[in-house]
Amino acid sequence: MNIIKIMDYLSDSELMNTKSSRRDSFGHIKTLGKNVAMASIPFGLAATSTKTRATTLSMASSMMMADPLDILNFALTLEYLERNFYQMGLDTNGLIPAEDRPTFAQISKHETSHVEFLLSALGDDAVSEPTFDFTGGSLNLDTFSNYQTFLALSQGFEDTGVRAYKGQAGGLIDNADLLTYALQIHSVEALHASQVRRMRGEKGWITKSENTLPGAFSAIYGGATPESNTVQGGVDLSGLFNDLGGNNAVTESFDEPLTMDEVNAIASIFIVP
């Protein structure tokens, strides 16, 4: 089989998935909204009906996780934060250089969609939007007057987003629809993170817990399972790939989760109490 045929196939399926007309798009989101609404009502039922085979296995772990409603509201709060951050950045004259505006417009578009998506999923159960302060309160960051600070915070928010969704996936394991939606948002945050990191002259992937952000944000790459972790599935991979990039490559190959508390601690720096 040749590559062209494969590319054709993929672009066809991409076409089917995303290149729909505006009219179709509305139909699509309506369907999506309906699916999410249906999925969001019987949270309790989902665990016993759709995935009975999983119940026993995941019960122990799920008991330690937040329930899906809390997870979605947690995600919504992060998405509110990102949406506001990028909107304010784009609205600030002279902050983002012209050549970088399309990049941040694209990211901003996605974060706005994520907020709307989660709002439609949560309905009346959605938390309201906090008031944000991107100077970080007493940190007094020059976020909207210094592009490098804006870029640094963008990287921090995107990498935190990746780690936050990853940390909560287990809590959605009994609900196939919600889990898939969360994974679909998770991978988009990683596309953003890679881009912004490279705009800052870093690699798109995280090496150990190396941190070039303001000192107050070391928690973004730390936590109970820091990005320097080399143990995967009980296997310590350190020292096993010395001629394949060594431990740097090992840590780059796996992104790590943050717990809800760890994420909330990071986000709370920017939320007015």
Partner 1 sequence: MKNKIKIHDVNPLRRDRRQFLKLSGMALVGTSLVFMTGCSNDDDAPSPPEEIFDLGTGDLGVLNYAYALEQLEADFYTRVVNHSNFRSTFSQNEQQVLTDLYYHEVIHRDFFNTAIGVAVSGDLTKRLPVLEFDYGNLDFGNREIVLATSKTLEDTGIAAYNGAGKLLTNPDYLLIAGKIVSVEARHASAIRNIIATGSIDGADSKSFAGDDIVDPVTGLGQALSPSEIVAAAGGFITTPFTYKEQGIG
**Within 171-230, which residues bind partner 1 (CB under 8 A)?**
173, 176-177, 179-181, 183-195, 198, 203-205
Nearer to partner 1, 31 or 218 (CB): 31
Nearer to partner 1, 7 or 41 (CB): 7
The CB density around residue 167, as the number of other CB atoms within 10 Å, is 24
Under rule CB under 8 A, residue 7 binds partner 1: yes
Using the structure block, give the residue that is written with the tokens 């945050």. Answer: 189
Task: Name the minimum Å distance from CB 26 to partner 1.
Answer: 8
Under rule CB under 8 A, residue 271 binds partner 1: no
Report the C-alpha gap between 59 and 47 in whole angstroms.
9
Task: Please say whether the beta carbons of 224 and 262 come within 8 A.
Answer: yes
Under rule CB under 8 A, residue 30 binds partner 1: no
Task: Name the minimum Å distance from CB 18 to partner 1.
Answer: 5
DSSP letter, residue 171: G
Under rule CB under 8 A, residue 34 binds partner 1: no
Q: How far is CA 116 from the centre of its chain?
A: 15
Report the C-alpha gap between 54 and 50 in whole angstroms.
9
The CB density around residue 141, as the number of other CB atoms within 10 Å, is 20
Q: Which two tokens stand for residue 170?
A: 């287990």
Task: Please say whether the beta carbons of 71 and 172 come within 8 A.
Answer: yes
Task: Name the minimum Å distance from CB 33 to partner 1.
Answer: 10
Q: Which of residues 132-171 bind partner 1 (CB under 8 A)?
A: 162, 165-166, 169-170
* Amino acid in position 23: R
Task: Name the minimum Å distance from CB 252 to partner 1.
Answer: 6
Please give the backbone phi and psi of residue 5, each rounded to the nearest 5 degrees, phi first.
-65, -40
DSSP string of 180-215? HHHHHHHHHHHHHHHHHHHHTTS-SS--TT---S-G
Question: Which part of the chain contacts partner 1 (CB under 8 A), choosing from 10-18, 38-46, 70-78, 124-132?
Answer: 10-18
Name the residue among 191, 195, 178 with its Cα closest to residue 117.
178
Under rule CB under 8 A, residue 119 binds partner 1: no
Give the 3-state secondary structure of residue 11: helix
Under rule CB under 8 A, residue 256 binds partner 1: yes
Nearer to partner 1, 62 or 143 (CB): 62
Task: Name the minimum Å distance from CB 219 to partner 1.
Answer: 18
Query: Which of 138, 233, 272, 273 touches partner 1 by CB under 8 A?
Result: 233
Give the 3-state secondary structure of residue 252: helix
Task: Name the minimum Å distance from CB 46 to partner 1.
Answer: 12
Number of residues that bind partner 1 (CB under 8 A): 87
Task: Name the minimum Å distance from CB 93 to partner 1.
Answer: 20
Report the C-alpha gap between 173 and 5 in whole angstroms.
35
Query: Which of 113, 135, 209, 228 touches partner 1 by CB under 8 A?
Result: 113
